[in-house]
Structure 1
Amino acid sequence: MKTWMLILYLCIIMQRLIELVIAKSNENWMKERGGIETGQEHYKWFVIVHCLFFVAIYLEAWLFGREDFSVNYILLSIFLLTQFLRAWCIVSLGRFWNTKIIVLPRVALIRKGPYKYVKHPNYIIVGIELLVIPLLFGAYLTAVIFPIIHLVLLKIRIPNEEKALRMSYDVQR
């Protein structure tokens, strides 16, 4: 892996680890205030898939000798845009942003930032990342497989999340 690739790869992993620390802090904050977690049975699959995603990128880049791979500035620009949008999602939800499904009863649904325009913007962003990040590293197989897995997991995740949000909304009334 070229130096620029390794630095970018490690930066993305570091970013994800920092996000997990933020999510854990937000989880604790919400649970201390009566937050209710649902969807635990499928959450482990998200963790497994996202860990395997980074392993797959590295292995594919290594196995197919991407030493001659140069920066694709269009893909890099798309990636940087997704990072801006990801941060916008996190900031918009504030203490309610999490990687798990946790709802706080009697709290109004947040409809600011990207959530003003799209119901689940972070899932769209992740889907784009699962395509663009591997392409940046020349991991073409990973760029095909992981967005498909993401869509399959979302077919489970989104209905669970919607149900939890509806239950929270019903408690408000």
Structure 2
Amino acid sequence: MARQRVGQRRPGGQPGPYRGPGRSRPPTLGVDVGGVLVTLAGRDEDTSFFGGQPLRTPAVPGVFEALTALTAEPFAGRVHLVSKAGPKVATNTRAWLAHHDFFARTGIPAGNLHFVRERRDKAPVCERLGITHFVDDRLDVLAYLEAVPHRYLFGGGIDDRPPAGDVPDWATVTDTWPDLAVLLRESVPIPAGGRS
């Protein structure tokens, strides 16, 4: 497979919007937490919440601004956080989100936070929620999400991450939230009547 440059679409692009039996799903965004919302200190731990001061874990630059705009349009409140976490990390995640006033700042409903115990368990959650776009820092997770037409491999939330190697055609690679926001907006069809 040819290596994709960061922030570029692969030849042929990702599949078009999902067309279910007689209807299409509204665009719905799913976002991982560790390495996508919060910066990871390295790949040895699944998230940096394992440290002694999880509330001090920094947000990925630009995440609040991008998610606030995306939650308003084009996803119209249909943004979900889907994270693999055991009880300790789930507790730390909730505390981090509250500490940073995440839900009020982004407009994402607090009830749109979902935890799974295994990475592969994100797939049925995405299917149940009608996720059409998903952002994760792990290619193996994105590979499980076969029903999600638009999958994004995010590399901007991990310190010292080597450049992505070969990436399958179904994934789009990006390293910054501003670039990701542009890619997400471009992937959502403009409704009849246009965007305001």
The two structures have a TM-score, normalised by structure 1, of: 0.34
Which structure carries more helix by proportion? 1
Larger C-alpha radius of gyration, 1 or 2? Answer: 1
